Every structure is written in C-alpha cells, then in structure tokens.
C-alpha cells in the first residue's frame, strides 16, 4: 500500500473535484479553497486570493435577503451566527470575477474542534425562479405564456436539465406579423394545447414567441417546429429553428435566431 506522503495535497485534490465552492475555515478565515472557488473569484492560487481579497466575511454582499457581516450577532463569530440559522436562511450572495452577483446555499460542517468546512452551492437561477413565481412575475397575464425575464433568468436550469438528460435544447422563434394581443393570446392557447408539460412557451416581444424544449436531434426539432407553425393562421407568421450549441448561452442563441427571422416572409420557416 502506497504511503500518503503529503495529506494536504490529497485533501486539495479531493476538494478540487467538487463543483460546489469549498472553503476550509480556521479562526474565521480560509486556510484552503478548491478549484471552483478559485475560478469563481478569478484567481490562480490560494495565495493570490489572500493577497487580493480582505476578510472572508466581506465577500458576502450586504443585502437584506442574505446573510452578511451586519447580521452577525454581537459577541459571536460569523461562523457561529451562520451555523445558528435555519437551512433556508443559510444563503449568501457573492460577486464573481465579472462582478456579477450569485446566490449560494451554504452547508457547514463545524464538528471539528479547529476547522469549519463550507460548501457553497450556486442556487441563483432556482432562487430567482422561486422569487418570480412568488411575485407572479413568471407568467404574462394577457397571453398565459412565460415572461421573457423569467425565461432568461432561469435559462441555466434548462441548460442543466439538458445536460443531465443528455439532450439538446431546441429553440423555435415564431414571429406573428402585426399581431394584436388577442391574436397572440390565441396563438399561445393553440400551441400550449399540443406541447409537452416541460416545454417552455415564452412571450419574447409584442409579436414574437419562443418555444424552448429538450430534443434528441435536430430533425425532431424541425418536425416539432413545422407542427407548431402549421397551427398559425395562413399568411400570419414565420418561424426559425435551431439547437443551442454546447458552448453557447441561450441568450446568444436567441440573438442568432432573431437575425434569421429578419429575412423571412409570411408562412416561411427557416432552419439554421
């Protein structure tokens, strides 16, 4: 049996395999971070992180909905205050290397007498989804389709679902010429009657709908779009369809499809 000559290197290799941000805390400050953590903050090493950032608690964005320095109980460390919270309240917000705020659910293990291990899971998309649903911001009241903001803010969940199910994401853009609110509502009703429960029909603009769905191959996306487009009244619409590429973000794919719509006339359908 091979002798472990450097236990620290072994621990580092183990935590570097984790997708969550992992931090080992001693006396309120980190002594070890994993690869995901370094990537989030855009640093190449633990030493660079220590040099570039101040006290660890200051990474937590001061926001009334999340735990941060101002919520630490007097006479306690931030770890002690965080441990006492209910699981649903153990949420922090931090800025990534692009200064974009992300929300994390924090799991703490403080059973060791010296060290506390934090595992931070990015729940940004799920949290936004919950908030928008609670505030009735997920559905367009007139048409019954999902709102553009809800779709774009929760697009990460769709990407994760596609990866987990080993599927592609199909996007179909349907433009309805000179659409009135009633015409758009009718189109939404007709489309929702034939799509699957997990397919997302989105009101993207005054006269454009997006249909997002998981699919095995592009041919099936084309057939699906033809079926949907055939529901539209003759001479009233055009459509474009493509798959989201593996390295492409959904908003980028939408911009690409919108360009494809620009050259289409009534009843035309384009495959990118």
Task: Convert the pLDDT of each residue in 17-31 to its tens digit.
Answer: 999 999 999 999 999
- What is the average pLDDT value for the chain, to the nearest integer? 92
Q: Give the separation between CA 68 and CA 46, rounded to whole angstroms.
A: 22
Mean pLDDT of 233-258: 92
**pLDDT over 60 at 4, yes or no:** no
**pLDDT over 80 at 98, yes or no:** yes
Query: Residue 22 has what pLDDT?
Result: 96
> Over pLDDT 90: what percentage of the chain?
81
Mean pLDDT of 226-236: 89
For the segment 179-194, what is each residue's pLDDT rounded down to a tens digit? 889 999 999 999 999 9
Alpha-carbon 132 to chain mean position: 14
Query: Residue 64 has what pLDDT?
Result: 87
Q: Give the separation between CA 171 and CA 261, rounded to whole angstroms.
A: 13
Mean pLDDT of 188-211: 94
**pLDDT over 80 at 5, yes or no:** no
End-to-end CA distance of the chain: 57
Q: Give the separation between CA 163 and CA 145, rounded to whole angstroms.
A: 25
Q: Give the separation between CA 60 and CA 40, rounded to whole angstroms.
A: 14
Distant-in-sequence, close-in-space partners of 137: CB < 8 Å, separation ≥ 6: 131, 147, 149, 150
- Whether the pTM exceeds 0.85: the reply is no
Helix, strand, coil share of the chain (percent; to 5): 40, 25, 35
For the segment 131-185, what is each residue's pLDDT rounded down to a tens digit? 889 889 999 999 999 999 999 999 999 999 999 899 999 999 999 998 889 999 9
Distant-in-sequence, close-in-space partners of 50: CB < 8 Å, separation ≥ 6: 30
**pLDDT over 60 at 2, yes or no:** no
Q: Which residue has the higher pLDDT, 200 or 1?
A: 200
- SS3 label, residue 178: coil
The DSSP 8-state label assigned to residue 92 in this structure reads: E
Cα-Cα-Cα-Cα dihedral sign, residues 31, 105, 132, 149: positive
Mean pLDDT of 8-24: 91
> Can you list the domains of the chain with their CATH numbers?
7-122 (3.30.450.20), 127-271 (3.30.70.270)
Mean pLDDT of 243-247: 91
Q: What band does 1 get if pLDDT is binned at 50, 70 and 90?
A: very low
Mean pLDDT of 108-112: 92
* CB contact at 8 A, 91 and 102: no
Q: Which residue has the higher pLDDT, 54 or 203?
A: 203
**pLDDT over 80 at 3, yes or no:** no
**pLDDT over 80 at 62, yes or no:** yes
Q: What band does 11 get if pLDDT is binned at 50, 70 and 90?
A: confident
């Amino acid at each position: 049996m091979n002798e472990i000559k450097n236990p620290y290197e072994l621990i580092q290799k183990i935590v570097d395999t984790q997708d969550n941000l992992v931090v080992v805390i001693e006396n309120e400050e980190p002594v070890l971070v994993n690869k995901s953590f370094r990537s989030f903050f855009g640093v190449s090493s633990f030493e660079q992180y220590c040099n570039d950032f101040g006290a660890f608690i200051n990474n937590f964005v001061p926001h009334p909905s999340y735990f941060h320095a101002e919520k630490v109980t007097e006479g306690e460390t931030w770890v002690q205050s965080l441990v006492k919270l209910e699981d649903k309240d153990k949420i922090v917000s931090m800025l990534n290397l692009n200064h974009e705020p992300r929300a994390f659910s924090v799991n703490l293990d403080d059973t060791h007498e010296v060290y506390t291990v934090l595992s931070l899971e990015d729940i940004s998309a799920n949290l936004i989804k919950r908030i928008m649903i609670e505030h009735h911001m997920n559905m367009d009241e007139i048409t019954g389709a999902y709102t553009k903001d809800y779709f774009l803010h929760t697009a990460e969940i769709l990407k994760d679902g596609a990866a987990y199910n080993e599927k592609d994401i199909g996007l179909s853009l349907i433009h309805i010429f000179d659409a009135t609110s009633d015409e758009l509502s009718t189109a939404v009703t007709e489309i929702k009657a034939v799509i699957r429960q997990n397919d997302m029909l989105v009101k993207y603009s005054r006269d454009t709908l997006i249909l997002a769905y998981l699919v095995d191959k592009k041919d099936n996306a084309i057939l699906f779009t033809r079926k949907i487009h055939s529901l539209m009244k003759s001479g009233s619409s055009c459509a474009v369809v493509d798959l989201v590429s593996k390295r492409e973000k959904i908003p980028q794919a939408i911009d690409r499809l919108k360009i494809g719509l620009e050259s289409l006339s009534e009843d035309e359908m384009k495959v990118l």
